[in-house]
Chains A and B, each alone.
Chain A
Amino acid sequence: GAGVSQSPSNKVTEKGKDVELRCDPISGHTALYWYRQSLGQGLEFLIYFQGNSAPDKSGLPSDRFSAERTGGSVSTLTIQRTQQEDSAVYLCASSLGPLSSYEQYFGPGTRLTVT
């Protein structure tokens, strides 16, 4: 079946602009995660959605970052007033449910470059 998909694959934006990154999880997966991969910080957790529960936003680095998940499926990560330090690969993952034993399946990521 289809895996996790993300769009766009690459995004170049000017400092100060807003960007939206999209994630389509595997069909039937109720859990969705966003991670950021940057040279300076490595791979870090950003946010987690599980069904209709309130998301775990504990990893969001600032209030310029927000995410939503509509209809329990597609998720959008929004970065407002982008800064150069936001340049990174943003990875999305999904899993069957909230159990820690469930594998997280990753998408190919979106490479964001802020100029």
Chain B
Amino acid sequence: AQTVTQSQPEMSVQEAETVTLSCTYDTSESDYYLFWYKQPPSRQMILVIRQEAYKQQNATENRFSVNFQKAAKSFSLKISDSQLGDAAMYFCAYRSALFGAQKLVFGQGTRLTINP
């Protein structure tokens, strides 16, 4: 079974600074998807960024980028120019690319605090 580990229960950063959230995963599969989700106090999970395992290029979405190291099974999220609205729980998630393997497997989450 696949597992996802987030080793940082809490992180804090000064507004406008850069922060990196860590995620490692374990799988025997070669094709899969990795995601970072944001969960603000409203509870609604919002997709921040996704990475296809077959792509070597790291995904970027505006201020959000990932460092995907397939051999090391590492998938970190970098948030540049942190803003107060970035404060939330962040979850790393894995999804198999096998047809029918639909569930997301989540890490335990990292609570990010932005200091003004």
Contacts and interface: CB of A to CB of B under 8 A. Distances in A.
Interface of A: 31, 33, 35, 42-45, 48, 50, 56, 59, 89, 91, 93, 98-101, 103-104, 106-109, 111
B103 A100 contact: no
B44 interface: yes
B47 interface: yes
Interface of B: 32-33, 37, 42-47, 50, 52, 91, 95-109
A100 B104 contact: no
B104 to A, nearest CB: 6
A108 B37 CA distance: 14
Q: Which 4 A-B pairs have the closest CB atoms?
A: A45-B103, A106-B45, A43-B106, A109-B43
Nearest to A4: B44
Nearest to B46: A106
Nearest to B102: A48
A107 B44 CA distance: 6
Given A100-B95, A100-B96, A59 B43 contact: no
15 contacts: A31-B102, A33-B103, A35-B104, A42-B109, A43-B91, A43-B104, A98-B100, A99-B99, A100-B96, A100-B98, A101-B97, A104-B47, A106-B45, A107-B44, A108-B44
Nearest to B37: A106
A103 B93 CA distance: 12
Contacts of B102: 31, 33, 48, 50, 56, 98, 100
